[in-house]
Amino acid sequence: MRLVVGLGNPGPKYRNNRHNIGFMAADEIVRRHGLSAPRTKFQGDISEGDIAGERVLVLKPATFMNESGRSVGEAVRFYKLSPEDVIVIYDEIDLAAEKVRVKQGGGHAGHNGLRSIDAHLSDKNYWRVRLGIGHPGDKSQVSNHVLGDFSKQDQNWVARELSAVADELPLLLDGQVNDFMSRVAMATRGNRSAPEAPDTHPERAHARTETKTDKSSNETALGNALSRAMNRLRGRE
């Protein structure tokens, strides 16, 4: 069993804040994978279901960001999970917008949600999915930035990133961290698939050339026949 936690603040006032991108990711995971409707438990909203053959719980703490650990700690203890079974998705101000990074363990880097989780788990070896929201450039503007809504211009890449995080979550559950990051990054940029490379096999390339030549010849012959028929009709007028 795995516990996926999306961090944010509850209530409509904060729904579209940059600080709530973790909540947004949790909602998209539930929607994409058809998990159960959320129910109130562990001081939060929790959904559950199977993703790629693994039982997954998705939790959105309702304690407000600074007390997220109380909710996460309750769920971990109830299900007897280890920190390694926990994946926390949250906003990262020190990471450029549209970027995603994944790591296991480490410090909280000033993020109050992580600070609270650190205080309620036995160790810090849980997984972190950091979704970049960028820095405003001025420390005095940090609070306004994280508690401000995404701009209309941002909404396109945010939608692509959230969809990709949900779609590629099975890779992360399977331990394919680098593949998860790469695919999410490509999708966020709008480059999910690369252009098809030209086929340089000589026989196949020759066959395509012959096909194009035959098609061109047939079109020319048809055109000539139509032209002759039109001339005959004109001669009868």
**Amino acid occupying residue 4:** V
Half-sphere exposure of 187 (CA within 13 A, CB side): 18
Q: Of 129, 134, 136, nearest to 100 (Cα)?
A: 129
CA angle 213, 214, 218 (to 5 degrees): 120
- Tokens 């098609």, located at residue: 215
Distance CA 100, CA 41 (A): 29
User: What are the backbone dihedrals phi and psi of residue 3, each rounded to the nearest 5 degrees, phi first?
Assistant: -115, 115
Catalytic residue among 19, 120, 135, 206: 19
Rounded to an integer, what is the distance from CA 206 to the centroid of its chain? Answer: 42
Instruction: Please answer whether residues 42 and 58 qualify as being in contact, where contact means their C-beta atoms are separated by less than 8 angstroms.
Output: no
Instruction: Please answer whether residues 175 and 102 qualify as being in contact, where contact means their C-beta atoms are separated by less than 8 angstroms.
Output: no
Tokens of 31: 């929607």
Question: Has 19 been annotated as catalytic?
Answer: yes
Residue 149, strand partner residues: 17
| CB count in 10 Å sphere of residue 119 | 12
Query: Which residues are known catalytic residues?
Result: 19
